[in-house]
A and B are shown apart, each in its own frame.
Chain A
């Protein structure tokens, strides 16, 4: 399988897309945020240096989820009043992509869900229950998060945000849901919390002294 290759319109560096459906990437050399158009790459901005963070995951960290190998190809870094978290965009070996979130070393994998009639941002409250795919979910917390930066490939354009709203929904099991209100239309992600060791992660960051 050949990968789409292009050159950075800003610095000319070779840009290789690891996933054919990626819409946005960041030039690793000049940090330009590049968006794919039908014909070429368009520079839409520049990422500031990401704030120092200590996720043990990094681009190209590999792991296994649901018997499928995956690789981290991009991320969005958020911050809220209780700290920061990363949404790692992971490419599964079956060609689909998912999200591995790392919030203070609590890990979860989620997939976008195609479900209609999602509750609007102004109509959701903590304690409310929703049932999707026959699984009831309870809204546990609504978070206003600050967008702090991106890295690598993403399945959508995501570079000009400031504050985004999320609703976290929990269940009595490991399953959870996230309602993402960063776009006009709410987006739903369904997933589950996972144990660090169950992901069999390789190519992790190393920490001084550990």
Chain B
């Protein structure tokens, strides 16, 4: 066994939070990163100081406008992200100019002495938990460009020039107000892969979308986070609206519906013909009159539907039948009129036809009992001889109900798809590659 190494003569010093005074205005500045910061910005006079210089050399000073908003999460505040405590030690506002409009966002520098630096970004109430990439993403040459990182593919969203306009606290790099970097975001919601290019150096980071309420909970912030405005680049689509999921559900339910339809048709509905008869109207000039009643027939089983089908050999002609389905016992009657008409011919567009020689109607909820039909035909004057047949069927499958059921399934599926498309449209509307291009009068031809 090896002997323990000799103890050093003095115990190693425990790094402490350093309090120093601003060389410009004398205000107290706390150094929270145990010397890991490169620059520190005085909260009082906004001098940017060299944190690595014991004399805190002044690197830059900048003016702030009165209405400049500071960090929403104050410097020195600690929170837990992914199970690790982090302290807010720095804050910057950056902005970019797009079509003459300046958009700005906030970046918080977080620090843990063992785990190092992380960042929180906030734009219009949308947050991202950002860490440096440990590996180099692979650029996939395509238009628009893509990148792969840890087996995931990211789509190019936007490239812009980010300018630092306000800084506070500590930064692990040489921060300056007015400094510009080319920032490219590639997305795979809820993650965003960002590259930042300043000079020759390109740094990559990976962010994950965070809801304001989760940030507020992590940092135990009082009150409510700023409300999120619009759809952010890597904001996940609402979880209960998976397009794939809703169409899978639709497919599953359609199959169930079909199975139900089959079960009903085969095992429950009797679909039995209970009456059938043929009649004919002699040719002649007489006007429609003379109703008659049919033989009686039994409608058995439970209260169910009745289908009345009429076939007529009309040829460029019509017949109209006033029906009454009458219960022999109770006298209850269901009145309905049906027209059978069929026309056809030939014109410059070719052959045409209209109507049909057959018609059927369903009378719902007819109780069992003995029934007969009263039929009163109407027809045109000077009609030729018309033969017609009437059929009555009990307990027929009604496809309409199943059709309605199908529609009831289809509507939410389409609604979800549409909402999702709309969500994606709003997401990409802010990108370099909008899904729907809006024509603008100022746009120039390529």
Tell me, yes or no, whether A binds B. Answer: yes
Tell me which of A40-48, A53-61, A180-188 binds B: A53-61
The answer to whether the Cβ of B285 comes within 8 Å of any Cβ in the partner chain is no
Tell me which of B9-17, B225-233, B389-397, B431-439 binds A: B9-17
- Size category, B interface: 35 or more
With beta carbons under 8 angstroms apart, the residue of A16, A81, A204, A210 that contacts B85 is A210
The answer to whether the Cβ of A174 comes within 8 Å of any Cβ in the partner chain is yes
The verdict on A104 contacting B14 (CB below 8 Å), with A28-B6, A171-B136 known, is no
The verdict on A53 contacting B35 (CB below 8 Å), with A193-B135, A206-B14 known, is yes
With beta carbons under 8 angstroms apart, the residue of A16, A82, A104, A208 that contacts B15 is A208
Q: How far is the CA of A206 from the CA of B15 in the complex (A)?
A: 7
Is A196 in contact with B114, judged by CB distance below 8 angstroms? yes
Q: How far is the CA of A3 from the CA of B52 in the complex (A)?
A: 39
Is B36 in contact with A1, judged by CB distance below 8 angstroms? no
B28 to chain A, nearest CB (A): 17
B12 to chain A, nearest CB (A): 6
Can you give 18 contacting A-B residue pairs, CB < 8 Å? A3-B3, A14-B6, A52-B15, A54-B36, A56-B114, A82-B173, A83-B52, A83-B172, A104-B117, A105-B36, A105-B113, A106-B132, A140-B136, A208-B15, A208-B17, A209-B16, A210-B85, A210-B112
- Most A CB contacts (10 A, CB to CB) among B12, B136, B172 go to B136
Contacts of B110-162 to chain A: CB distance below 8 A: 112-117, 132, 134-138, 148
Chain A residues with CB below 8 A from B148, complex form: 172
With beta carbons under 8 angstroms apart, the residue of A14, A56, A170, A208 that contacts B16 is A208
**Least CB separation from A170: chain B residue:** B136
Chain B residues with CB below 8 A from A178, complex form: none
Is A58 in contact with B14, judged by CB distance below 8 angstroms? no
Q: How far is the CA of A206 from the CA of B200 in the complex (A)?
A: 36
**How many of chain A's residues have a CB under 8 angstroms from any CB in B?**
38
Contacts of A121-168 to chain B: CB distance below 8 A: 126, 138, 140-141
The verdict on A106 contacting B114 (CB below 8 Å), with A1-B2, A18-B2, A82-B173 known, is no
The verdict on A82 contacting B115 (CB below 8 Å), with A16-B3, A58-B12 known, is no
Is A104 in contact with B200, judged by CB distance below 8 angstroms? no
Give A contacts to B, CB under 8 Å: 1, 3, 14, 16, 18, 28-29, 52-54, 56, 58-60, 81-83, 104-106, 126, 138, 140-141, 170-174, 193, 196, 204-210
Chain B residues with CB below 8 A from A208, complex form: 14-17
Given contacts A56-B114, A83-B52, 16 further A-B contacts (CB under 8 A): A16-B5, A28-B8, A28-B9, A52-B15, A52-B35, A53-B35, A59-B5, A59-B8, A83-B36, A83-B173, A170-B135, A172-B148, A174-B135, A205-B14, A207-B34, A208-B15
**Least CB separation from A60: chain B residue:** B5
**Least CB separation from A152: chain B residue:** B5
B35 to chain A, nearest CB (A): 5
Q: How far is the CA of A208 from the CA of B173 in the complex (A)?
A: 23
Is A207 in contact with B15, judged by CB distance below 8 angstroms? yes
Is B15 in contact with A54, judged by CB distance below 8 angstroms? yes
A152 to chain B, nearest CB (A): 9
Chain B residues with CB below 8 A from A16, complex form: 3, 5-6
Is A82 in contact with B38, judged by CB distance below 8 angstroms? yes
Chain B residues with CB below 8 A from A126, complex form: 200
Chain B residues with CB below 8 A from A60, complex form: 5
The answer to whether the Cβ of B174 comes within 8 Å of any Cβ in the partner chain is yes
B363 to chain A, nearest CB (A): 72
The answer to whether the Cβ of B33 comes within 8 Å of any Cβ in the partner chain is yes
With beta carbons under 8 angstroms apart, the residue of B14, B134, B137 that contacts A207 is B14
The answer to whether the Cβ of B201 comes within 8 Å of any Cβ in the partner chain is yes
- Most A CB contacts (10 A, CB to CB) among B5, B13, B112, B201 go to B5
Chain B residues with CB below 8 A from A29, complex form: 9
Is B135 in contact with A171, judged by CB distance below 8 angstroms? yes
Q: How far is the CA of A105 from the CA of B36 in the complex (A)?
A: 9
Q: How far is the CA of A193 from the CA of B86 in the complex (A)?
A: 22
Contacts of B17-74 to chain A: CB distance below 8 A: 17, 33-36, 38, 52
Is B134 in contact with A174, judged by CB distance below 8 angstroms? yes
**Least CB separation from A204: chain B residue:** B114
Instruction: Convert B208-227 into 0s and 1s, putting 1 for each residue whose CB lies closer than 8 angstroms to a CB of A.
Output: 00000000000000000000
Chain B residues with CB below 8 A from A170, complex form: 135-136
A71 to chain B, nearest CB (A): 9
Chain B residues with CB below 8 A from A206, complex form: 14
Chain B residues with CB below 8 A from A193, complex form: 134-135
**5 nearest A-B pairs in the assembled complex, by CB-CB distance:** A105-B116, A54-B34, A208-B16, A170-B136, A207-B113
**Least CB separation from B118: chain A residue:** A105
A135 to chain B, nearest CB (A): 13
Is B3 in contact with A205, judged by CB distance below 8 angstroms? no
Chain B residues with CB below 8 A from A14, complex form: 6
Chain B residues with CB below 8 A from A140, complex form: 136
B79 to chain A, nearest CB (A): 14
The verdict on A81 contacting B174 (CB below 8 Å), with A56-B113, A205-B12 known, is yes
Contacts of B167-203 to chain A: CB distance below 8 A: 172-174, 200-201
Q: How far is the CA of A171 from the CA of B2 in the complex (A)?
A: 39
Chain A residues with CB below 8 A from B16, complex form: 207-209
Q: How far is the CA of A54 from the CA of B113 in the complex (A)?
A: 7
Chain A residues with CB below 8 A from B12, complex form: 58, 205
Is B116 in contact with A106, judged by CB distance below 8 angstroms? yes
Q: How far is the CA of A172 from the CA of B85 in the complex (A)?
A: 29
- Most B CB contacts (10 A, CB to CB) among A138, A172, A173 go to A172
